[in-house]
Amino acid sequence: MDLRTLYRLIVLYMIGESNDPLSNTQITGFILEKEYTNYFVLQETIRNLLDSGLIISESVHGNTLYYLTEEGRQTLSYFGEKISDSIKEDVLDFLENANLYYDEPVAASGYEKTGDNKYDVTCSIRNRKKTLLQIVLSVSTEEQADAICRNWNEQYINTYTGILDLLLN
């Protein structure tokens, strides 16, 4: 197996096995401490996972947090056995001992092209491992998808409370 593929699988495995989102700092610290690869290759790996829709990111208080997408989960279920048991043990040891607690709700958003002039935008709010709200919107341009993601990340609390008010009244 190509090393860059292994790096992608390790990052997917880390995020998939965590009970909380993982920060760029946590992933980088683990990978560099174990000397699996260097910083620049790892950042390229993370960018590749984001670009391919296997993970999504969000910014919370200056930290970038990563979550698996459904496509990322499927990829991990197909190819996860290609990660050696020793690497899996290293990851599980790290996750068991790492400080991974995020008590505040956090917003995530991302989009993917699903056809000619069609984009599906996924917006969610999570609190630890629990999804509080997730919506998928279909739009016709990438600019609209990008605007929804940008606005969601700034207005998710108002949107969430507005939806709750609407549904409860």
Query: Domains, the chain, ranges and CATH?
Result: 3-97 (1.10.10.10), 106-168 (no CATH)
Pairwise pLDDT comparison (79 vs 165), residue with the higher score = 79
pLDDT band at 141 (very low <50, low <70, confident <90, very high): very high
pLDDT band at 164 (very low <50, low <70, confident <90, very high): confident
pLDDT band at 20 (very low <50, low <70, confident <90, very high): confident
**Looking at the predicted structure, is the pLDDT value of residue 90 above 90?**
yes
**Residue 98, pLDDT score:** 72
**Residue 17, pLDDT score:** 93
pLDDT band at 99 (very low <50, low <70, confident <90, very high): low
- Chain mean pLDDT for the chain: 88
Between vectors from CA 125 to CA 98 and to CA 71, what angle results, nearest 5°?
A: 75
How far, in Å, are 29, 33, 115, 168 from residue 164 at the CA level?
A: 39, 44, 32, 6
Give me the count of residues in the chain. Answer: 169
